[in-house]
Amino acid sequence: MAKECLITGKKSRVGGGYSNRVRATKFNPTGKRRRQVNLQKKTVFLPELNRKIIVTVSARGLKTMKKRGAYQTLKLAGLVK
């Protein structure tokens, strides 16, 4: 399963490392590293459907669900009909 948020569509990204040595010498010995998304596996109860579903969402996606409502957000994402 891909590490991707179902609501926001966030994925992992590659970013450069940065150390204190860079500031002194302008040389980057750390190389690149993959930055993962803060994904959470949550069970959400939807009273409109009277059932629970398990979603893998980022922390930002959880805040979106809390603000808009779980059913409305998942409906816009195409996860619920």
At 28 the pLDDT is 60
According to CATH, the topology of domain 13-77 is Ribosomal Protein L24e; Chain: T; (2.30.170)
Residue 20 has pLDDT above 60, yes or no: yes
Query: Residue 5 class from Cβ within 10 Å (0-12 exposed, 13-18 middle, 19+ buried)?
Result: buried
Confidence band of 79 (pLDDT split at 50, 70, 90): confident
Instruction: List 51's β-bridge partners, or say none.
Output: 46
Taking only the tens place, the pLDDT of each residue in 38-58 is 999 999 999 999 999 999 999
Mean pLDDT value across residues 21-26: 65
Domain boundaries, the chain: 13-77
For residue 34, the surrounding DSSP H or E stretch is: strand 32-35
Return the pLDDT at 52.
Answer: 94
Mean pLDDT of the 20-24 span: 65
